[in-house]
Structure 1
Amino acid sequence: MNDRLRTVSIPRSSGAEIDEDARKVLRNTWNLLALTLLFSSFMAYLAMTNNWPYPGVLITLVGYFGLLFLTTALRNSAWGLLAVFALTGFMGATFGPIINSYLTVFSNGHELVIAAFGSTAVAFVGLSAFAVTTQRDFSFMGPFLFVGILVAFLAGLGAIFFEMSALALAVSAMFALLMCGLILYQTQQIVRGGERNYIMATVTLFVSIYNLFSSLLHLFGFFMGEE
């Protein structure tokens, strides 16, 4: 076997091949992602049980982008792992009050949260499996996803500051689709060697799951919520 490139083949029916470096990055990414999701869930639980107030849009955005910048700067060192947990823990803590609001406002709030969580889990597992096994190349999605996310983010800010509920609903639907595309794109980037840093891959997938869950929760609350 050539020592410079050892290739591990997925079953022939999938038609996909993953080299050993990509397999290692994928494994490390999924392991770290699982840990960050658990930690974020724990922080959300603390926020909910202690009735922590929502810090507001400004503090949330400053904290998120500040910790994201720190994680990016430290991505090639062991400190990057601490930055990842700081970022995901912060996101979980700020999302806890949002979940509490759904549990308080809607009589079927628990069902809405469970439905959003289950849908997010199914979407992530399905899209990840497809990205790992398919022969299709989704690298073309990168620029479209970047532009789409930027537009949706700005539209979301407009919906918040101008209190436009219809626009907020449209933004949630847009984000749900974009996050599904981002999960597919990022996973395939790992598989095909386009992403070799598992810390940044974890952050991208975590943010995708976070936004997909929050978007679905908003949509389910609007269409299925019972006050």
Structure 2
Amino acid sequence: MERTITASHTGSFAHVLQTFAISLLVSFIGMLIGAMVVPPQMIMLFVVAELGMLVAAFVIRIRGRHIGYGFLYAFTAISGVTLYPVIMNYGSLLGANLVSGAFLATAAIFGGLALYAHRSKRDFSFLGGFLFAATIGLVIMSLVNLFFTFGSAMSIVWSMIGILIFSGWILYDVSQYRDGVAAEEVPLAALNIYLDFINLFLYILRFIASIAGASRD
């Protein structure tokens, strides 16, 4: 049955982006908390909580329910805590300037793709199945990498694939939300865009680190 959303119960795309921006701010606060309060030995607890909340969000969505703003901001705060040691590790490898440059590049790519998806009015829904399968492939590669360390060349290819996949997710998600979503779906929409942005940032960092590693070999 086709779903009809009345204007009074619709969250505009601008509202989704605003919620996404707040999510990034909350994540940054989480990083500060991770830096100043959370001991390194407790980071794994936050990683488990983050993964658990992702699974919970997936199950909630399957059951036709909706996550709330509290869930969204709790997740992004925990995500910020778990991101802190990752960002610091890349900072020690690459330097603060390259990490900052990677973030700016992520913001530029995200902004360009989001603007294109919003203005072009093209339907990117055909990417959904491929992107989902490709993301599962990335997860499997990550698990394999826990036991077998990839060389610099493989890491470069892997990171480029990740950049392409999450660039595709940005096009897909923005095209899904550009005409607005039901008000109760705004937190989930913002969560999806947040994950697109953060994963794109991490794969850009991985790409730069892989290039730097290859140059040292």
TM-score calculated relative to the size of structure 2? 0.81
- Assess, with a 3 A threshold, how the Cα gap between structure 1 residues 124 and 153 changes in structure 2: closer, same or farther: same
Query: In structure 1, what residue type is equivalent to 2:21?
Result: A
Shift of 1:140: 0.5
Deviation readout 1:55-80 (Å, 9 max, x if unpaired) = 677962x3223112444538956x72
Q: Which has the higher helix share?
A: 2
The answer to whether the 8 A contact 2:106-2:201 is kept is: yes
Please list every run of at least 4 consecutive aligned residues from structure 1 whose deviation after the TM superposition is greater than 6 angstroms. 56-59
**1:147 aligns to what?**
133
2:191 pairs with 1:203: yes
Counterparts of 1:146 and 1:35, CA distance in 2 = 26
2:177 pairs with 1:190: yes
- Assess, with a 3 A threshold, how the Cα gap between structure 1 residues 5 and 68 changes in structure 2: closer, same or farther: closer
- Secondary structure, aligned partner of 1:133: helix
* Identity value in percent: 26
Counterparts of 1:56 and 1:114, CA distance in 2 = 23
2:99 pairs with 1:98: no
Query: In structure 1, what residue type is equivalent to 2:32?
Result: Y
- Aligned with 1:48 (options 11, 35, 39): 35
- Assess, with a 3 A threshold, how the Cα gap between structure 1 residues 154 and 22 changes in structure 2: closer, same or farther: farther
Q: Which moved more, 1:143-152 or 1:46-55?
A: 46-55
Counterparts of 1:22 and 1:170, CA distance in 2 = 44
2:66 pairs with 1:112: no
2:35 pairs with 1:35: no
- Assess, with a 3 A threshold, how the Cα gap between structure 1 residues 111 and 126 changes in structure 2: closer, same or farther: same
Shift of 1:175: 1.3
2:119 pairs with 1:133: yes
- Secondary structure, aligned partner of 1:137: coil
**1:12 aligns to what?**
none
- Assess, with a 3 A threshold, how the Cα gap between structure 1 residues 130 and 21 changes in structure 2: closer, same or farther: farther
- Secondary structure, aligned partner of 2:68: helix
- Assess, with a 3 A threshold, how the Cα gap between structure 1 residues 191 and 138 changes in structure 2: closer, same or farther: same
Query: In structure 2, what residue type is equivalent to 1:181?
Result: G
- Secondary structure, aligned partner of 1:136: coil
Counterparts of 2:9 and 2:211, CA distance in 1 = 41
- Secondary structure, aligned partner of 1:140: helix
Deviation readout 1:25-77 (Å, 9 max, x if unpaired) = 312211111111001012113323558427677962x3223112444538956
Aligned length: 206
Unaligned runs of 5+ in 1: 7-19
**1:9 aligns to what?**
none
**1:213 aligns to what?**
201
- Assess, with a 3 A threshold, how the Cα gap between structure 1 residues 5 and 157 changes in structure 2: closer, same or farther: closer
What is the 5 A alignment of 1:156-171? 156-166=142-152, 167-171=154-158
Q: CA RMSD in A?
A: 3.1
2:163 pairs with 1:176: yes
Unaligned runs of 5+ in 2: none
